[in-house]
Structure 1
Amino acid sequence: MNYGFVKVAAAVPPVKVADCQYNAEQIEKMINEADEKGVQIIAFPELCITGYTCADLFAQQLLLEKAEMGLVQVMNNTRQLDIICIVGMPVITNTILINAAVVFQGGKILGVVPKTYLPNYKEFYEQRWFTSARDVIDKTVRLCGQLVPVSSNLLFDTPDCCFGVEICEDLWSVIPPSSKLALKGAEILINLSADNEGIAKHNYVRSLISQQSARCIAAYIFSSCGFGESTTDVVFAGNGLIYENGTLLAESKRFSLEEQMVISEIDVERLRTERRINTTFSANSGDYKDAEAIHVTTELTNSRPLSLSRKIDPLPFVPTGRTLNERCEEIFEIQVSGLAKRIVHTHSKTAVLGISGGLDSTLALLVCVKTFDKLGLSRKGILGITMPGFGTTDRTYNNAINLMKELGVSIREIDIKAACIQHFKDIDHDINVHDVTYENSQARERTQILMDVANQTGGMVIGTGDLSELALGWATYNGDHMSMYGVNVSIPKTLVKHLVDWVSQNEVEEDAAIILTDIVATPISPELIPADEDGNILQKTEDLVGPYELHDFFLYYTMRFGFRPAKIYYLANIAFAGSYDKETIKKWLHTFFRRFFNQQFKRSCLPDGPKVGSISISPRGDWRMPSDASSALWLKEIEEL
């Protein structure tokens, strides 16, 4: 299986201006190298067979003939390969000259795409030599002894994807040809460019390509001239760029004196999912329903075993590098703004929440503190209630109390053990049987206390449960599952840790930061089972339900892109290589899908809470799923892995 991936390359070959034979030899060499690496589609720069900077030499018959002979040479010497190649060259059609991209495979030309927008300003004089695609009347052109389609509206259909081609300046136009090609079905957009350098221009080009790939929900392959093209008044740095829906996957080194080839894999399945979900994309397609689109079918491209070069992040919900602080601040502000609106709207006098000393309740408390500060309300209006039970340890209890003291909120302690013992007597449950009844009774007792205290104080109960717990159904129905507003409902467990850590470094005093650091280091546990003889947490959630970093990975690719278990398993084995073996990943993947389906009924009646990222599990937001849907198809595929 290729799992929807297509391996592509942007090549920047050595070039000698006007030396077609030399240029053809270099292109041929790089095609063979790309094929050996399993590349299925490779793009070269604009006019790479002749060189872009030939200027008035484009009027020389000898150059034009040698360009065609160079293409013949490349095709003949690579006809045994099934890689699809796109090269740039001048092409004569019906006595006019076009700046063209030639697409070929296995010695056969599949189509010729003329450049539509010819720059004729500043250092560019292309209208002096070339004719725009808009003025090309012929539907076919004879090239290298083959009669082939010629149009700016060609779409190339491979067994794995559909791609379209535009040339350099086309991207700079108000409505690039690639926009129309994408709306007609092109999933991969390819640009053969001769983009010369200027101060700050590179960042602009990257931004332009990123935006176009995102707007078109497509991949964008950009290959631009390198060192050999630099002549007279212009310099070329050699830009090979590969983007997917706005994200940079690979780029070349600028100003290299050597040839370069950047390779990555385009997740076409992911792009198709994005387009299906984004109904604006399909609606926009209707605006061009009368536009011509000529489909060209290619042969099957190489069937080598898939080997990904693109990075698979094991923590897809967690931002990295310089964006981490900025993203954490933004997430925190979204949570705060959502809660602030609800407090103002309901005229709540207090915010009531249970504080366990664990990650989730800590984040919820921090959100409440920031919200009250923002609204100009006294932190004493935040009622933090710690409710020790049979499994509460000194570590979590002390962290809960000390943190509330440091933050200056109101503290109440209500021990639930006596109430639970009475309840066990009422329902005739043996207190020594530590089953689901034993555990859930404690969770529901705590929720009852919170709800009643909120009634007492004219306040609202702030939910602490996170996205990961709700995906797995790791919450007691009508227990911690319930609140009046859940501030963490869109925050996965892996991100909760980073948010609490971020707050400790940026939003609180040193003493509170020390407590937060210890909370982050505390094992995740509902603490519903008594501790061991030394007072340590005995009931660790990740021992029971599985590592949250795995479950968050599964959740991301299931909900965000609708990937099947086999593909998620494939990606997980790459992302977590060295951390988890295949059997462990398979075990928890099975657990994830089993619980994800079986626990939907809890998500079907979730309280309100702010959507923060690209995934929300609210039935009023991103996820509407039947509570009684069968998981058989998904579990069967996992069992067959």
Structure 2
Amino acid sequence: MGRKVTLATCSLNQWALDFEGNLERILKSIEIAKAHGAKYRLGPELEICGYGCADHFYESDTLLHSFQVLRKLLESAVTQDIICDVGMPIMHHNVRYNCRVLFLNRKILLIRPKMVMANHGNYRELRWFSPWNQLRNVEEYFLPRMIQEVTGQVTVPFGDCVLSTKDTCIGTEICEELWNPRSPHIQMGLEGVEIFTNSSASHHELRKADQRVNLIKSATTKSGGIYLYANQRGCDGDRVYYDGCAMVVINGDIVAQGAQFSLNDVVCTDMERAGSEKAYLQIRLYSHLEREPKPCHRVKVDFSFSSGDDIFLPTHQPITWHFHTPEEEISLGPACWLWDYLRRSGQAGFLLPLSGGVDSSSTACIVHSMCTLLCQAVKDGNGKSLWGGLWAFSLCQPITCTKKRYITQQRKGKKPKSII
């Protein structure tokens, strides 16, 4: 016997500093989650303001507008009766943190700051944020007045803590913490946490999906449990591409997979499974192991994920993760980035000089891959979500004039045909 629990994780194509657009996409993902009966919705890292804000994180307006979006989320009827987990920057004791905010029915349940910063390769998080290095410590955070007016709360828990409902316990990891040798899920699992979540902004890198899948499968193979992974999607105005790959893993088995390369702005993945078998694995195998001297602080909430009645449920059915070949990744990743860069820059197309060498030939293949993805998306009825998908077909026209002829037509005041 087990309890039916429905959870949702998503990949969102958030834009840096596009607060209105980001709010719209967050609400849309919550609508999709609720339509599938989910009681918990997980989103990507810093989804309210966008991950690639760079030095705009220093500006007080970025923090202010993030709280304004949070207020609209709290007030929205869409966010009622579901625990929403969103990401945003927060200033606590004059220190800036990368945080997760969990709320339910116009009440903020807890704020979880990131404890391990990504500060290598393409990432410079220590430039803008400080890590929360007080393990198992929770403080009181004084909410801004605009939030107090909605929630009726003056302070909320802020720090390294987990959420305890009537029927389960949820622990949070944020991106880089999963890659750390002392990942938080290890000790959380030993203390009875059954559902682990990870909000990420992980960029595409050749064969990186293999590493993500192996790490997440390993996290629940050791101690059991359910692991939800959410990731940013798109280029976010930067020079990297975030490739989604939202997933749900149970006891080391993948049970749900989100698309890695997609032009859709919102991709949700939900899962319905029994939540009781994990506790059996943990108690039987690992209850004798040494734990941290200070236990996890639990924030209790009067809420249930399950209906309350034990029912007979089949065991979860694993799926085989579909890994793209290296050739497919090289073709699809840059193609998706090109489309995002094109529509965000407001341009009408690309100028592609062809010299016949390897560089121009490879670029032409990638642009062709982009056009193929766009045409397929429009045929599938996703034109509106592509923000300009109706004119995407013009990008797929063959080159009809040379650069010299194109410039000549412009000088004569004529509107030249589209060229790529």
**Same fold by TM-score, threshold 0.5 exceeded?**
yes
Measure, in 2, the Cα distance between the counterparts of 1:116 and 1:300: 27
> 1:83–1:301: 8 Å Cα contact kept in structure 2?
no
> Aligned partner of 1:26: which letter?
R
Decide whether aligned partners of structure 1 residues 22 and 299 sit closer, same or farther in structure 2, where only a CA change above 3 A counts. Answer: farther
TM (norm. structure 1) is 0.46
Instruction: Work out which of the residue numbers 261, 285, 288 in structure 2 matches 1:283.
Output: 288
Decide whether aligned partners of structure 1 residues 300 and 287 sit closer, same or farther in structure 2, where only a CA change above 3 A counts. Answer: closer
Measure, in 1, the Cα distance between the counterparts of 2:239 and 2:6: 36
Partner of 2:217: 210
Larger Rg: 1
Partner of 2:229: 222
Measure, in 1, the Cα distance between the counterparts of 2:281 and 2:270: 23
Q: Secondary structure at the match of 1:299?
A: coil
> 2:251–2:278: 8 Å Cα contact kept in structure 1?
yes
Deviations 1:106-128 (A, max 9, x none): 11110011111101111110000
Residue 20 of structure 1 and its aligned partner are, at CA, apart by 1.6
Partner of 2:274: 267
Residue 214 of structure 1 and its aligned partner are, at CA, apart by 1.3
Q: Does 1:81 align with 2:87?
A: no
Residue 202 of structure 1 and its aligned partner are, at CA, apart by 0.6
Q: Secondary structure at the match of 1:132?
A: coil
Query: 5+ unaligned residues in a row in structure 2: which ranges?
Result: 323-420
> Aligned partner of 1:295: which letter?
R
> 1:25–1:74: 8 Å Cα contact kept in structure 2?
no
Partner of 1:249: 255
Relative to total residues, which structure has the larger strand share, 1 or 2? 2
> 2:47–2:86: 8 Å Cα contact kept in structure 1?
yes
> 1:265–1:309: 8 Å Cα contact kept in structure 2?
no
Residue 32 of structure 1 and its aligned partner are, at CA, apart by 2.4
> 1:263–1:309: 8 Å Cα contact kept in structure 2?
no
Q: Does 1:164 align with 2:171?
A: yes
More displaced 10-residue stretch of structure 1: 19-28 or 161-170: 19-28
Partner of 1:11: 10
Instruction: Work out which of the residue numbers 284, 301, 305 in structure 2 matches 1:298.
Output: 301
How many aligned residue pairs are there? Answer: 311
Query: 5+ unaligned residues in a row in structure 1: which ranges?
Result: 323-641
Deviations 1:179-219 (A, max 9, x none): 12222221000011111110011111100110011123121
> 2:254–2:320: 8 Å Cα contact kept in structure 1?
no
Q: Secondary structure at the match of 2:185?
A: helix
Alignment of 1:598-637 (within 5 A): none
Deviations 1:48-107 (A, max 9, x none): 001111111101111110001101111110477211111111011111110001111111
Residue 302 of structure 1 and its aligned partner are, at CA, apart by 6.3
Partner of 1:66: 65
> Aligned partner of 1:54: which letter?
C
Deviations 1:210-255 (A, max 9, x none): 001112312111101012x443321111121100110001010112
Q: Secondary structure at the match of 1:204?
A: helix
> Aligned partner of 1:181: which letter?
M
Partner of 2:20: 21
Q: Does 1:132 align with 2:131?
A: yes
Decide whether aligned partners of structure 1 residues 90 and 173 sit closer, same or farther in structure 2, where only a CA change above 3 A counts. Answer: same
Q: Secondary structure at the match of 2:47?
A: coil
Q: Secondary structure at the match of 2:214?
A: helix
> 1:265–1:310: 8 Å Cα contact kept in structure 2?
no
Decide whether aligned partners of structure 1 residues 193 and 321 sit closer, same or farther in structure 2, where only a CA change above 3 A counts. Answer: closer
Alignment of 1:140-219 (within 5 A): 140-143=140-143, 144-145=147-148, 146=153, 147-152=155-160, 154-219=161-226
Decide whether aligned partners of structure 1 residues 305 and 25 sit closer, same or farther in structure 2, where only a CA change above 3 A counts. Answer: farther
Q: Secondary structure at the match of 1:205?
A: helix
Deviations 1:354-398 (A, max 9, x none): xxxxxxxxxxxxxxxxxxxxxxxxxxxxxxxxxxxxxxxxxxxxx
Measure, in 2, the Cα distance between the counterparts of 1:255 and 1:73: 30
The percent identity for this pair of structures is 27
> Aligned partner of 1:252: which letter?
G
Q: Secondary structure at the match of 1:82?
A: coil
Residue 7 of structure 1 and its aligned partner are, at CA, apart by 0.8
> 1:249–1:310: 8 Å Cα contact kept in structure 2?
no
Q: Secondary structure at the match of 1:53?
A: helix
Across the aligned residues of Structure 1 and Structure 2, the Cα RMSD in angstroms comes to 2.8
> 2:30–2:79: 8 Å Cα contact kept in structure 1?
no
Residue 301 of structure 1 and its aligned partner are, at CA, apart by 4.0
Measure, in 2, the Cα distance between the counterparts of 1:78 and 1:321: 36
